Structure 1
Amino acid sequence: MIKQLTALFVLITSVSLTASASDMKLVILGTGNPNADPDRSGPALAVVANGQPYLIDAGPGVVRRASAAGLEMPSLSMAFITHLHSDHTVGLSDLIFTPWVLEREKPINLFGPPGLAAMADHISKAYAVDVSMRLNGAEPANETGYKHITTEIAGGYVFTDQNIQVEAIQIDHGSFDAAFGYKFTAGDKTIVISGDTGPSDTLEKAAMGADILAHEVYSAETFKTRPPVWQNYHSQFHTSTHELAAIANRVKPKLLVLYHQLYWGATDEDLIKEIRAAGYNGPVVSAADLDVFAVPSEPNAK
């Protein structure tokens, strides 16, 4: 099924992700948060360019969601981590090992804040018995696909290949010394991922005029029902619907995608209504797991 969203974007479900080498797509693998919602896997996204997926975060369920989205297991070889909260990283062991079991031969490349290398190393040590059994036992396994290459970053341009350029954007989240959003550029197309953050001048600057801005959000209305200790936390380190409306009015993305939503009893429709009521009238959608947003090759494609 294909549903037209704007003159520039379509929301795609149940369709190949590699239909055209020039396509750039945002694949929503998980929109969840620490709440154990069975309909929403943990936070994870993929930008797909020239058929190659570049993952952002590794929340619980990431590999099975990638499979459901039609991403090939051997292609899951590149991931960019926004920060080290558990809901964004507990899928790392799955991402490191499951695609290897399913014939990925390349080591996985991980990019993220300081502490990521130690996390990945500890995961590898935890599964040493499994790795030894697969390498030395009766079942066939290659000798490279279980390995990881981890690059700890400090912001700026962190990766470039023939498909895409990736910029890490320093943001503030909780008491972390380092947390990042990411900007993916392929030719004249850009997709910006906020990660977990409150309103951020650096993120706004990077996202100006982006084709897609995928941004975390919480309901400003149901926030009022939260205990004061949580109101204090979320108001400092996350972004309300009212704040996001102001951000989007300044950034003017061609499409605003809400993800990592905190509802507290609100619905997707409520989030959109709150953003509209706060004065943003541009294209916006509240994403569900396995939504795919394609940027057409032609700027004025229908």
Structure 2
Amino acid sequence: MYVVFLGTGGSGAPPGRAENCILVDTGDARIVLDAGPGCGQRLQEAGYSVCEIDYVYITHLHIDHWAGLFDIAVYSAAEQCRPPRIVAASPVAGEALEALLPRLPRVYREQCSSLIGIEPRRRWSPGARLEVEPVEGRHAVTSYGALVYWDGEPVLYYSGDTAPTETVEDAVKRAAVAAVETTIPSSLAEVAQESGHHTVEQVLAYRGVIRSGSTLVTIHLTRESLKELRERARAGKLPQGVVVPVDGLAMSL
């Protein structure tokens, strides 16, 4: 199974980064976790046609997590293929039927008139050996990250947007790779708490609880959080096993 971090920036991403887009490719199935602005272009740069993508899992309805569906729809129409089906946790899917689908291009409204909703704490299988389980977060709006299983083992946790919670920490502990939003610099902890985000310090603290040999990937990066991470790296204060990715980083799990 391959994971490609196509878009590693958050809203107002640092230069050179697309926003919120991770590809999971098992060979039998391909699912994109969120589709922020630039996601379609990054798929092409990674050598994929949008026609090869089966599903897009949307964590929540903030625009930096789904606006890339516009480009994906255009590419699908140009290549004369059905756009990827939209999947979400059932609470998000219910909201998306009214708030998201009517705003998408016609190709989505006509060919994907319904969403696939996954019940929280249940697993849904988009392909052989692959399963996805919604993980509730705490954000300004309803938000569910995703725990991805391969052969029954939790291999990837994608947080979406969320503040730290016990549920989030448990998912981080279980996964071989934990991709956690790292939006707010450590000096603005109150802002992070109010807006439903992690600070850099809160994300790095997960190194103390996740299992041996696992990897912690910082995503949803902003200029301020990326600057702090780079300063910590230059000072030798970035813990081992923490990856600050660039767009296009691929991992084999």
Indicate yes or no: 2:176 matched with 1:211.
yes
Distance 1:293 1:123 in 2: 34
Indicate yes or no: 2:231 matched with 1:270.
yes
Equivalent residue for 1:135? Answer: none
Equivalent residue for 1:13? Answer: none
Secondary structure of 1:83's match? coil
Equivalent residue for 2:221? Answer: 261
Shift of residue 80, structure 1, vs aligned partner: 0.9
Distance 2:13 2:155 in 1: 32
Distance 1:106 1:30 in 2: 19
Distance 1:152 1:272 in 2: 40
Larger % of helix: which? 2
Distance 1:108 1:203 in 2: 26
Distance 1:270 1:51 in 2: 41
Indicate yes or no: 2:124 matched with 1:166.
no
CA distance 1:107–1:52, change in 2 (3 Å): closer
Q: Pairwise CA RMSD of aligned residues?
A: 2.8
Equivalent residue for 2:150? Answer: 186
Spell out, residue by residue over 1:235-272, the C-alpha distance to the aligned partner (whole angstroms, 9 max, x if none): 34111222122223112361111111133271642254
Spell out, residue by residue over 1:122-181, the C-alpha distance to the aligned partner (whole angstroms, 9 max, x if none): 134xx44xx5xxxxxxxxxxx99943531344512242131301000011012x2x2111
2:250 to 292, 295, 300: 292
Indicate yes or no: 2:59 matched with 1:59.
no
Spell out, residue by residue over 1:64-110, the C-alpha distance to the aligned partner (whole angstroms, 9 max, x if none): 11111112321222011111111112112223442243232466233
2:69 to 92, 112, 115: 92
1:199 to 164, 176, 184: 164
CA distance 1:45–1:146, change in 2 (3 Å): same
CA distance 1:250–1:144, change in 2 (3 Å): same
Distance 1:74 1:145 in 2: 17
Q: Relative to structure 2, which stretch is displaced further, 281-290 or 106-115?
A: 106-115
Distance 1:268 1:195 in 2: 19
Distance 1:288 1:272 in 2: 15
Equivalent residue for 1:248? Answer: 207
2:10, 2:219 within 8 Å by CA — same for their partners in 1? no
Structure number with larger C-alpha Rg: 1
CA distance 1:38–1:120, change in 2 (3 Å): same
> Could you state the TM-score of these two structures normalised by the residue count of structure 1?
0.71
Distance 2:233 2:161 in 1: 19
CA distance 1:144–1:246, change in 2 (3 Å): closer
Distance 1:144 1:260 in 2: 28
Secondary structure of 2:139's match? coil
Give ranges in structure 2 of 5+ residues lacking alignment. Answer: none
2:19, 2:64 within 8 Å by CA — same for their partners in 1? yes
Equivalent residue for 2:81? Answer: 104
1:75 to 43, 46, 52: 52
Distance 1:107 1:58 in 2: 11
CA distance 1:35–1:281, change in 2 (3 Å): closer
